[in-house]
């Protein structure tokens, strides 16, 4: 339980991370913790203690009885208790907690629908996993209402950014493309893994500023996040997309 | 206290209203409740029961011992408990609660600083008071670090939008200007009162799409919200702004 004056609840003032645990073992924990620490620096909060964070996440796995199989572990840091108004107390005392839930692997390739909700590239929050995630909730809701699995989000300038809960990649002209971070995109842990794997294979990676029309000419569109790994995209707004062998190959390499 | 699985806490999935209470009497309660009901329709949540909301707010005033003087009463509606991930349960059960705190009137005119954090006109959330308020927190933080009282926020297209917790007005060429709602602006209760008061005085009101340069030629810049009423602006990024008698007049009329 958390107090009604917690700024995470009242103002979305905080950050989170979602990690995959396989048979109780947290995957890429140092990368996730480093990202939360960096995010705290951006929004001006004291960083979490990594050992405490790891203990909380392991305890959450045990409490949920998820020591075997796939679990999604969420680490949440709020700005802590606060008085009325937007301004934090002079010395914020963040709250850190973790929860765990089963995380079955999504079945089959995803159907995407372009969302009317835009990413706000003009805020640092668009490059962080913050507790102010309503835009993502609304984008996903639109996608589901349109019969799709996930939303494709553009930024205010109409550039392709990401899905509501995943980074986006595509192949074009023999190169791998993914939206640049300043399009308003989270620096995903799996995004970085895919870029490294592509580099090892000698495949050029372009961090792109691209409009929707770029995707019409693309093949091998896929989504990445820590829970789904690499998930191919089958269609965009109902139009089937070309598949690419390389996606299965990257999928085998990064999970 | 609220559960760790509440979507208001985990995803900023919910809405709030801030009302002024004078000697225990809630001001403009029907307008605030109507706005929350409309916001629920936009984000797809069941609306609050107005009688319950009023009871909760009155109880919060009493609990806080604020039956006399000025109080800020906050009504919060969260999307309620939810499992993992962005998608709500099939039948969300929102949580509604209220808190109250003393609300002394801000002293003197405000100093504004232009914030680097932009409003996201490309999301319906930019026109609502949502629990995903981190952009506003960050904008205010920047303004305070710059020695100002409040942030002036532009949208992604560079149009003047609002302050971090107030609507914005200015006088130019004998007309009252305020950013249009589609700039990414809350439909403020006091904003509406000021527009009505201007209309009663035969003063034309322009809902504007204007860049920062428009403010250089303006006089009588002022902020509005339910707690501050009408608050003149003294300076923008350190440059003094021209005052206007009309601001004091509107202030007297709408509070």
Q: How many domains does chain A have?
A: 2
Q: How many other C-beta atoms lie within 10 A of the C-beta of residue B195?
A: 20
- Cβ atoms of A39 and A15 within 8 Å: the answer is yes
Flag whether B21 is in a domain: yes
Provide the terminal-to-terminal Cα distance of chain A, rounded to the nearest Å.
Answer: 34
Closest CA to B8 of A87, A11, A19: A11
Q: Are B84 and A72 a contacting pair at CB < 8 A? A: yes
pLDDT value at residue A15:
98
**Boundary-marking domain end, from B72, B102, B132:** B102
Q: Are residues B185 and B217 in the same domain?
A: yes
**Boundary-marking domain end, from B70, B102, B134:** B102
Flag whether B1 is in a domain: no
| Mean pLDDT, range A28-41, rounded to an integer | 98
Q: Are B120 and A123 a contacting pair at CB < 8 A? A: yes
Closest CA to A167 of A178, A183, A158: A178
Please tell me the distance from the alpha carbon of residue A96 to that of residue A76, in angstroms, as a whole number: 6
Flag whether B184 is in a domain: yes
Q: What is the CATH number of the domain that holds A216?
A: 3.20.10.10
Flag whether A2 is in a domain: no
Q: Are residues A170 and A238 in the same domain?
A: yes
Q: What are the chain A neighbours of B123 within 8 Å (beta carbons)?
A: 117-118, 120, 135, 138
pLDDT value at residue B89:
96
pLDDT at A246 over 80: yes
Please tell me the distance from the alpha carbon of residue B86 to that of residue B7, in angstroms, as a whole number: 9
- A103 pLDDT band, cuts 50/70/90, is very high
Q: Are residues A146 and A46 in the same domain?
A: no
Q: Which two tokens stand for residue B215?
A: 């403010």
pLDDT value at residue B217:
82
**Boundary-marking domain end, from A72, A102, A132:** A102
pLDDT value at residue A253:
85
Please tell me the distance from the alpha carbon of residue B180 to that of residue A97, in angstroms, as a whole number: 41
Helix A189-200 vs helix A245-254: crossing angle, to nearest 10: 110
Q: Are residues B124 and B250 in the same domain?
A: yes
pLDDT at A20 over 90: yes
Share of chain A above pLDDT 70, in %: 100
pTM above 0.95, yes or no: yes
| Mean pLDDT, range B60-66, rounded to an integer | 98
Q: Are residues B134 and B245 in the same domain?
A: yes
| Mean pLDDT, range B52-61, rounded to an integer | 98
Flag whether B2 is in a domain: no
pLDDT at B14 over 80: yes
Q: Are residues B236 and B115 in the same domain?
A: yes
Flag whether A1 is in a domain: no
Q: Are residues A158 and A90 in the same domain?
A: no
Most confident of A76-85, B155-164, B210-219, B244-253: B155-164
Q: Are residues A97 and A34 in the same domain?
A: yes
Q: Which two tokens stand for residue A224?
A: 């990445």
Secondary-structure percent of chain B, ordered helix, strand, coil, rounded to 5 = 30, 35, 35
Domain residue limits at B47: 7-102
Q: Are residues A52 and A92 in the same domain?
A: yes
Q: Are A120 and B156 a contacting pair at CB < 8 A? A: yes
Q: Are residues B141 and B240 in the same domain?
A: yes
| Mean pLDDT, range A117-144, rounded to an integer | 98
- A245 pLDDT band, cuts 50/70/90, is confident
Closest B-chain CA to A78: B9
Q: What is the CATH number of the domain that holds B69?
A: 3.30.470.10
- Selecting from B72, B88, B130 the residue whose C-beta is nearest the C-beta of A84 gives B72
Flag whether A198 is in a domain: yes
Name the average pLDDT for chain B. Answer: 96
Flag whether A224 is in a domain: yes
pLDDT at B160 over 80: yes
Q: How many other C-beta atoms lie within 10 A of the C-beta of residue B24?
A: 14
- Selecting from A6, A130, A136 the residue whose C-beta is nearest the C-beta of B86 gives A136
- Cβ atoms of B125 and B96 within 8 Å: the answer is no
Q: What are the chain B neighbours of A150 within 8 Å (beta carbons)?
A: none
Q: Are residues A70 and A20 in the same domain?
A: yes
Q: Are residues B157 and B67 in the same domain?
A: no
pLDDT at A138 over 80: yes
- Cβ atoms of B149 and B236 within 8 Å: the answer is no
pLDDT at A154 over 80: yes
pLDDT at B205 over 90: yes
Q: Are A87 and B140 a contacting pair at CB < 8 A? A: yes
pLDDT value at residue A206:
97
């Amino acid at each position: 339980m958390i107090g009604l004056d917690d700024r995470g609840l009242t103002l979305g003032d905080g950050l989170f991370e979602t990690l995959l645990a396989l048979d109780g073992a947290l995957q890429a924990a140092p990368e996730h913790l480093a990202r939360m620490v960096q995010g705290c620096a951006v929004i001006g909060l004291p960083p979490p203690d990594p050992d405490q964070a790891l203990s909380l996440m392991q305890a959450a796995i045990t409490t949920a009885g998820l020591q075997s199989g796939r679990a999604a572990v969420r680490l949440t840091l709020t700005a802590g208790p606060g008085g009325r108004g937007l301004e934090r107390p002079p010395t914020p005392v963040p709250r850190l907690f973790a929860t765990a839930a089963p995380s079955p692997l999504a079945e089959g390739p995803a159907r995407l629908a372009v969302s009317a909700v835009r990413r706000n590239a003009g805020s640092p929050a668009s490059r962080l996993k913050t507790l102010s995630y309503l835009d993502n909730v609304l984008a996903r809701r639109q996608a589901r209402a349109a019969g799709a699995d996930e939303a494709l989000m553009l930024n205010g300038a109409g550039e392709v950014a990401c899905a509501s809960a995943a980074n986006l990649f595509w192949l074009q002209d023999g190169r791998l493309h993914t939206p640049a971070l300043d399009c308003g995109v989270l620096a995903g842990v799996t995004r970085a893994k895919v870029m490294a794997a592509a580099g090892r294979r000698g495949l050029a990676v372009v961090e792109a500023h691209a409009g929707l029309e770029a995707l019409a000419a693309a093949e091998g569109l896929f989504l990445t996040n820590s829970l789904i790994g690499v998930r191919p995209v089958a269609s965009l707004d109902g139009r089937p997309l070309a598949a690419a062998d390389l996606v299965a190959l990257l999928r085998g390499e990064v999970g």
